[in-house]
């Protein structure tokens, strides 16, 4: 139901607490990298995390945990391996830093005026991360969600029942929503979306597409 | 009243910062013990609410405390509170662990080669002003709303837990969370 340009405070809180799926966290992180307003909220939420931690009631610890930790104080820390250089396929769009290094499937045809590219998030077993490219004037098939979907617009804009979502904006959809986004303006719209669960498409095209992109 | 607290004196922000400084400057194990006594049991509460099992909790607490020991020299008291620093370290280690477990679930083998596992937020600059605003706002929040925020922040299935702890129907949880968050937001935006 909610469609807002910025992530809701609840979503930033979940991102900060580390409870989002890796794919959803990458979408939020990408928005934060583009949005100064949210950067402040993000810092507030981190400070909130610290304050809440202090106020949590303590749990009982294994009596030997302190000794075991003390015994490890002088351990040498293994040096981190330098990251392997990666060749990243050029998708013809500048990707936000948090996802710029991800391996992708490259653009795949998905229907007239529509293409998708899958981003590789091997650490995520339940959520898909995809880029969608949709030509101006195209209607994205009506769909509902069986889980949470976060969409960050990287280029162009789309509009649906709840309003307009333009470059840099993040839209949150959950399982109570059904929407029919239409790409507005002259520009092709490119979105980054994390999709939890399976899409429940209503239209014929969508039904044809979802097995294609494996959602 | 929280009886488990009786064993450990409360630790205020200034003292915590001194302890970290003592670790950085002199490798002070007494200071480390004091930090551990206060924070380790709270880290455990945080981690178990995040859905980590007992042995994961123990590993992550140890790793968080070892990171504090090793990186004490990088802690900047001007840039934020010890609690926020430790929260961030622990959260990053938790995310890292979950990613590795997710990878195993997905691929059955963990190729830890290509992606830098830890988000960089540890180095985030949080101003003192941020910290004190947040603290003040939390203090002013009605206790029920503070509880809602704490649950929605820390819990893996916040909605169910909030419904249970407040004795309200599941369907009304979202609006309660939104109310509490909005109230917090207002308090944060108020000039001091």
What secondary structure does DSSP assign to B79-126, as a single string? G--HHHHHHHHHHHHHHHHHHHHHHHHHHSS---SSS--S-GGGG---
Distance CA B168, CA B164 (A): 7
B28-31 long-range contacts (CB < 8 A, ≥24 apart) are B29/A70, B29/A73
- Measured between beta carbons, the chain A residues lying within 8 angstroms of B126 are 43, 46-47
Biggest CA pair distance of chain A: 65
Q: Which of B69, B73, B47 is nearest to B58 (CA)?
A: B47
Decide if A122 and B178 are in contact by the 8 Å CB cutoff: no
Identity of the residue in A53, A73, A125 whose CB atom sits nearest the CB atom of B69: A73
pLDDT band, very low/low/confident/very high, at A86 (cuts 50, 70, 90): low
Helix, strand or coil, per DSSP, at residue A195: strand
Chain A residues in contact with B105 by the CB 8 A cut-off are 125
Q: Are A153 and A166 in contact (CB under 8 A)?
A: yes
Tell me, yes or no, if A84 comes closer than 8 A to chain B by beta carbon: yes
B124 near A CB under 8 A: yes
Q: Which of A84-98, A147-161, B75-89, B115-129 has the lowest mean pLDDT?
A: B115-129
| Number of CB atoms found within 10 A of residue A175's CB | 13
ipTM above 0.90, yes or no: no
Give the CA radius of gyration of chain B: 18
Task: Report CB contact under 8 Å: A50, B115.
Answer: no
* Contact residues for B159 (Cβ-Cβ < 8 A; gap 6+): B170, B173, B174
Q: What is the pLDDT of residue A146?
A: 60
Q: Which two tokens stand for residue A189?
A: 């719209």
* Proportion of chain A above pLDDT 70, given as a percent: 78
In 3D, which of A161, A113, A101, A121 has the Cα closest to residue A137? A113
Judged by a CB distance cut-off of 8 A, whether residue B136 touches chain A is no
Kindly report the average pLDDT of chain A as a whole number. Answer: 81
B110 contacts in chain A (CB < 8 Å): none
- Given a contact cutoff of 8 angstroms between Cβ atoms, the answer to whether A60 and B41 are in contact is yes
Inform me whether the pLDDT recorded for A3 exceeds 50. Answer: no
Shortest distance, CA A162 to any CA of chain B (angstroms): 19
Q: Give the B window 11-30 contacts with A, CB below 8 Å.
A: 11, 29
What is the rounded CA–CA span in Å between residue B163 and residue B180? 14
Cβ contact A50–B87 (<8 Å): yes
**Are A51 and B84 within 8 A, CB to CB?**
yes
According to the per-residue pLDDT averaged within each range, which of A144-148, B65-69, B108-112 is highest?
A: B65-69
Delimit the domains of chain A by residue range: 1-74+95-215
Q: What are phi and psi of A200, to 5 degrees?
A: -115, 85
Instruction: Decide if domain A1-74+95-215 falls under CATH 3.40.1080.10.
Output: no
Count the Cβ atoms, other than its own, within 10 Å of residue A63. Answer: 7
- Predicted pLDDT at B28: 96
For residue A41, the model assigns a pLDDT of: 82
Query: What pTM was computed for the model?
Result: 0.81
B36 to chain A: which residues are within 8 Å by CB? 66, 69
Cα torsion angle, A91, A92, A93, A94, sign: positive
Instruction: Assess A82–B contact: CB distance below 8 Å, yes or no.
Output: no
Helical packing angle, B82-107 and A22-34, nearest 10° = 130
Closest-CA distance, A166 to chain B, in angstroms, reads 24
| Model confidence at B5: pLDDT above 90 | no
Confidence of residue B2 (pLDDT cuts 50, 70, 90): very low
CA distances from A47 to A138, A178, B24, B50, B89 (A): 43, 35, 22, 18, 13
> Which of A16, A42, A53 should one mutate to test binding to chain B, selecting the residue with the greatest count of B CBs within 10 A?
A53
pLDDT at B118 over 50: no
Domains of chain B: residue spans and CATH: 1-126 (1.10.1740.10), 127-192 (1.10.10.10)
pLDDT, residue A202, reads 47
What DSSP state is assigned to residue B74? G
Could you tell me if A22 lies within 8 Å of chain B, comparing CB atoms?
yes
Cβ distance B152 to A13 less than 8 Å, yes or no, reads yes
- The DSSP-derived string for A153-180 is EEESEEEETTEEEETT-EEEE-TT-EE-
Name chain A contacts of B46, Cβ cutoff 8 Å: 53, 56
Question: Which among A87, A205, A186, A49 has a CA at the least distance from the CA of A140?
Answer: A205
Instruction: Give the β-pairing of A143-145 and A199-201.
Output: antiparallel
């Amino acid at each position: 139901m909610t469609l807002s340009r910025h992530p809701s405070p609840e979503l930033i809180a979940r991102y900060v607490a580390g409870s989002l799926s890796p794919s959803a966290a990458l979408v939020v992180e990408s928005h934060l990298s583009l949005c100064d307003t949210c950067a402040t909220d993000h810092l507030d939420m981190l400070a909130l995390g610290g304050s809440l931690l202090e106020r949590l009631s303590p749990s009982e610890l294994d009596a030997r945990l302190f000794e075991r930790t003390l015994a490890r104080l002088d351990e040498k820390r293994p040096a981190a391996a330098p990251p392997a250089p990666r060749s990243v396929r050029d998708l013809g769009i500048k990707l936000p830093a948090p996802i710029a290094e991800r391996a992708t499937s490259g653009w795949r045809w998905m229907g007239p005026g529509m293409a998708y590219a899958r981003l590789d998030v091997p650490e995520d077993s339940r959520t898909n991360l995809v880029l969608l490219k949709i030509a101006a004037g195209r209607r994205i098939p009506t769909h509902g969600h069986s889980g949470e979907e976060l969409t960050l617009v990287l280029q162009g804009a789309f509009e649906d029942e709840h309003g307009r979502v333009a470059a840099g904006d993040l839209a949150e959809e959950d399982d109570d929503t059904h929407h029919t986004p239409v790409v507005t303006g002259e520009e092709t719209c490119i979105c980054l979306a994390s999709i939890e669960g399976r899409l429940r498409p209503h239209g014929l095209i969508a039904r044809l597409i979802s097995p294609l992109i494996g959602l | 009243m929280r009886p488990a607290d009786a064993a450990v004196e409360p630790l205020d922000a200034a003292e915590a910062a001194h302890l970290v400084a003592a670790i950085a400057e002199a490798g002070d194990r007494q200071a480390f013990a004091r930090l551990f006594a206060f924070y380790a049991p709270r880290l455990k509460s945080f981690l178990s609410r995040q859905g980590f099992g007992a042995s994961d909790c123990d590993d992550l607490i140890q790793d968080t405390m070892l990171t504090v020991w090793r990186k004490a020299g990088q802690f900047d008291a001007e840039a934020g509170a010890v609690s926020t620093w430790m929260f961030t370290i622990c959260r990053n280690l938790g995310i890292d662990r979950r990613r590795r477990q997710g990878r195993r679930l997905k691929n059955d083998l963990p190729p830890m080669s290509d992606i830098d596992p830890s988000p960089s937020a540890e180095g985030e600059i949080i101003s003192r002003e941020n910290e004190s605003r947040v603290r003040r706002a939390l203090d002013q929040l009605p206790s029920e709303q503070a509880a809602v925020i704490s649950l929605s922040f820390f819990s893996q299935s916040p909605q169910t837990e909030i419904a249970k702890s407040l004795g309200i129907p599941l369907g009304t949880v979202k609006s309660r969370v939104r109310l509490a968050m909005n109230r917090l937001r207002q308090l944060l935006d108020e000039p001091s």
